[in-house]
Copies of this chain bind each other. A is one copy, B any other.
């Protein structure tokens, strides 16, 4: 099985970062596919955003289900009970941290890519604003890349183009890549509102990034 050096799979959640990554990937690779993981997101609107963005980009998109994390529970992004904004005292991590989630999602994207001889994987993880998520660090991605290469006997390369960018720099990158119109369809709000609530941590982080970049966010947001 010969790896296609011009092919990449992007993990497309439908959020701002993965949407920007999709544009980044399209500039660098000839053959691009998007993979969206349906893990029982608190808000289905996120999945709809991923579909809309892939369609705008003209990229084939596959949705892979993953019901494991809802079953594991104990976090605020798939459950309905926990508060979103807070830190779990016992772990020192945000209660939105879902252990293993990014590792599993990237491994599923890799399994998908392996079946298609695609060696490049692109994810919108970001160390700068990593908010205490240990699976968003470059060291984690490096270790995971080694595990994927060994475990599937295939030369995977994980790209995280936003890894060391601030949110403002990400906005500038999106502007350069010409994907600001796609960001109107991306989803950020933790509360799943549309227009976005503008007050949850995710909305505030997004607004801050656009403000610092001096760029108007095309997303409709309650202000």
Contact = CB atoms under 8 A, between A and B. Distances in A.
Contacts of A150: 134-135, 137, 139-140, 143-144
A159 to B, nearest CB: 17
Interface in A65-111: 65-69, 71-72, 74, 90-93, 98-104, 107-108, 110-111
| Highest count of chain B CB atoms <10 Å: which of A65, A110, A150 | A150
B65 A108 contact: no
A68, A93, A102, A152: which has the most chain B beta carbons within 10 Å? A68
Contacts of A71: 64-65
B146 A151 contact: no
Contact of A90 (B1, B93, B151): B1
A153 B104 CA distance: 16
**Range of interface residues on A (Cβ < 8 Å):** 35 or more
29 contacts: A1-B91, A64-B71, A65-B67, A68-B68, A69-B111, A72-B108, A72-B111, A72-B112, A72-B115, A74-B115, A99-B110, A99-B111, A99-B114, A99-B152, A100-B108, A100-B110, A100-B148, A100-B152, A101-B111, A103-B148, A104-B104, A104-B107, A104-B111, A134-B152, A135-B151, A143-B143, A143-B147, A144-B147, A144-B151
Given A147-B147, A150-B140, A152-B134, A65 B64 contact: no
Contacts of A65: 67-68, 71
Given A71-B65, A110-B99, A146 B146 contact: yes
Given A104-B107, A135-B150, A143-B149, 15 more contacts: A64-B72, A65-B67, A66-B67, A93-B153, A99-B114, A99-B152, A100-B107, A102-B151, A103-B107, A103-B151, A104-B104, A104-B108, A143-B143, A144-B147, A147-B147
